[in-house]
Amino acid sequence: MTMSSEVLKEKVAQAARHLGLVREEVQKVIVGQHHLIDRMLVALVARGHVLLEGLPGLAKTLAINCLGRSTKCSFSRVQFTPDLLPADVTGTLIFDPVRGTYSTRMGPVFANLLLADEINRASAKVQSALLEAMQEHQVTIGEKSYKLPQPFFVLATQNPIEQEGTYPLPEAQVDRFMMKVIVPYPTEEEEKMILERMASTRPNLDLAARVSPEEILEMQEMVNDIYVDEQVKNYVIKIVFATRTTNGLDPELKQFIRVGASPRATINLTLTARAAALLQGRTHVTPDDVKAVAHDVLRHRILLTYEAEAEEVTTDQIVEKVLSKVPVP
């Protein structure tokens, strides 16, 4: 049953306040990285997952750890290495030779927030096991399937350097991540704050829990009630279609795009725009919400040609070009 507009407006405003408190808690430890924190919150309430690309030491692990502390959510971390097995992530059956029976040992995937650190260092079989859990929200151990705790959010990281000996995620699997977020270096002022806050043998990591897992699940349901006008829906579709070589608005982009964004881009662009509106306390999506999340949703869904690589054209430049060409309603 759809709630009235006044009730929805009140609930959305309350959710935005609570998410704002979570943001404030995380920022007590994390210096800067406002974009990363916002995108984690967007993906969390939109029931998606984030692929994070950044150099070592940019607080990727600490960020999701702080998110767990400030949301009462359980947190687990898996360091992906070449010798990792699927059972090390999902769990396995343990045989008891005395009783002659098997017992189930749950893997680290059974947590609300999971950090898959350097996911491209593990084999394709391990990556597939994690991606199946992300998609189905369940894992099968032996002959029995187990539901994962809800909410379930995966933050997978990959290092843009030291690519030797890694297993890059196939394009079809990368497409399953709702967003790909690039983490930049901090500014000089932020670096000074990091020094003052963290250059201690006992840094203060005490954070207050601002929302519960149950409240997050309510917010995830609330995202579905955020209104998307027909013109905004058409705007989303035109953006996605403009990335496809058969439907591109700008002929010069065709030489740079090998494969355009999939229908998952249309779905996730709408969902993340709804979640972004919720974070700002609005009950409707604006074109600015769509534009704000477009880079994170599309950058890993556009495959470039050799000509683009030769001319050092990036997917972010392609997305920016598309956004400048598609008429805003």
CATH of the domain at 94: 3.40.50.300
Do residues 77 and 173 share a domain?
yes
pLDDT band at 179 (very low <50, low <70, confident <90, very high): very high
Q: Rounded to whole angstroms, how far apart are CA atoms 190 and 35?
A: 14
Q: Rounded to whole angstroms, how far apart are CA atoms 197 and 230?
A: 47
Do residues 209 and 249 share a domain?
no
pLDDT band at 257 (very low <50, low <70, confident <90, very high): confident
Do residues 207 and 241 share a domain?
no
Q: Which of 177, 199, 217 is the last residue of a domain?
A: 217
Query: How far is residue 118 CA from its own chain's centroid?
Result: 15
Do residues 149 and 231 share a domain?
no
Percent of the chain with pLDDT over 70: 93
Q: Residue 121 pLDDT more than 80?
A: yes
Helices marked H in 143-229: 171-174, 188-198, 213-223
The CATH number covering residue 321 comes to: 1.10.8.80
Only one residue has tokens 């306390």, namely 281
What is the number of alpha carbons within 13 Å of residue 198 lying toward its C-beta?
15
Task: Give the pLDDT confidence score for residue 165 in this predicted structure.
Answer: 57
pLDDT band at 286 (very low <50, low <70, confident <90, very high): very high
Q: Which of 217, 247, 267 is the last residue of a domain?
A: 217
Task: Give the pLDDT confidence score for residue 250 in this predicted structure.
Answer: 66
pLDDT band at 162 (very low <50, low <70, confident <90, very high): low
* pLDDT per residue as tens digits for the range 47-71: 999 998 877 777 777 888 888 888 8
Q: Which of 161, 192, 217 is the last residue of a domain?
A: 217
Better-scored residue on pLDDT, 266 or 187? 266
Do residues 137 and 253 share a domain?
no
Beta strands (DSSP E) in 149-251 are 153-158, 179-183
CB 166 within 8 A of CB 123: no
CB 118 within 8 A of CB 53: no
- Compute and round to an integer the Cα radius of gyration of the chain: 21
Do residues 168 and 292 share a domain?
no
* pLDDT per residue as tens digits for the range 132-142: 888 888 888 87
Q: Residue 204 pLDDT more than 90?
A: no
Do residues 167 and 238 share a domain?
no
Q: Residue 147 pLDDT more than 50?
A: yes
Do residues 61 and 204 share a domain?
yes
Please state the rounded mean pLDDT for residues 103-113: 86
Closest CA to 269 of 249, 308, 243: 243
Total domains in the chain come to 2
Q: Residue 37 pLDDT more than 50?
A: yes
Q: Rounded to the nearest 5°, which phi and psi values hold at 6?
A: -70, -40
Do residues 286 and 233 share a domain?
yes
DSSP state of 202: S
The single-letter code of the amino acid at 120 is N
Task: Give the pLDDT confidence score for residue 62 in this predicted structure.
Answer: 81
Please state the rounded mean pLDDT for residues 208-212: 84
- pTM for this model (two decimals): 0.87
Task: Give the pLDDT confidence score for residue 1 in this predicted structure.
Answer: 45
Please state the rounded mean pLDDT for residues 113-118: 88
Only one residue has tokens 């890993």, namely 300
For 94, the domain range is: 5-217
